[in-house]
C-alpha cells in the first residue's frame, strides 16, 4: 500500500518568520521562526488533524482541492 501524500506550502515572510499549510487538509496551518521548525510543526499539526478526522469518521483530504504546477509563457 502506497503512503498518502500531502502538499506542504511554506512561505517566508518579510519578518523572517515562516507560515505554512497543507493544501489538501483544511485547518492544518503553522507559523514558526525557522524553516525547520515550520516543517516539524506542520507535520505535527497534520498528524493531529488526521487523528481527529479518523476518530470522527471524516475524510482526511478535502476533495475540492486540485493542485497543479504550471509555467507562465
3-state secondary structure 7-69: CEEEEECCCCCEEEEECCCCCCEEEECCHHHHHHHHHHHHHHHHHHHHHHCCCCCCCCCCCCC
pLDDT digits (tens, 9 = 90+) for 31-53: 999 999 999 999 999 999 999 99
Structural domains in the chain plus CATH codes: 1-73 (3.30.160.250)
pLDDT digits (tens, 9 = 90+) for 8-35: 999 999 999 999 999 999 999 999 999 9
pLDDT at 4: 84
pLDDT at 69: 76
pLDDT at 40: 97
Amino acid at each position: 500500500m502506497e503512503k498518502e501524500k500531502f502538499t506542504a506550502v511554506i512561505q517566508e515572510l518579510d519578518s523572517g518568520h515562516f507560515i505554512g499549510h497543507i493544501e489538501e487538509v483544511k485547518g492544518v496551518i503553522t507559523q514558526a521562526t525557522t524553516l525547520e521548525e515550520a516543517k516539524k510543526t506542520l507535520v505535527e499539526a497534520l498528524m493531529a488533524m488526521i487523528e481527529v478526522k479518523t476518530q470522527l469518521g471524516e475524510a482526511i483530504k478535502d476533495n475540492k482541492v486540485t493542485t497543479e504546477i504550471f509555467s507562465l509563457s
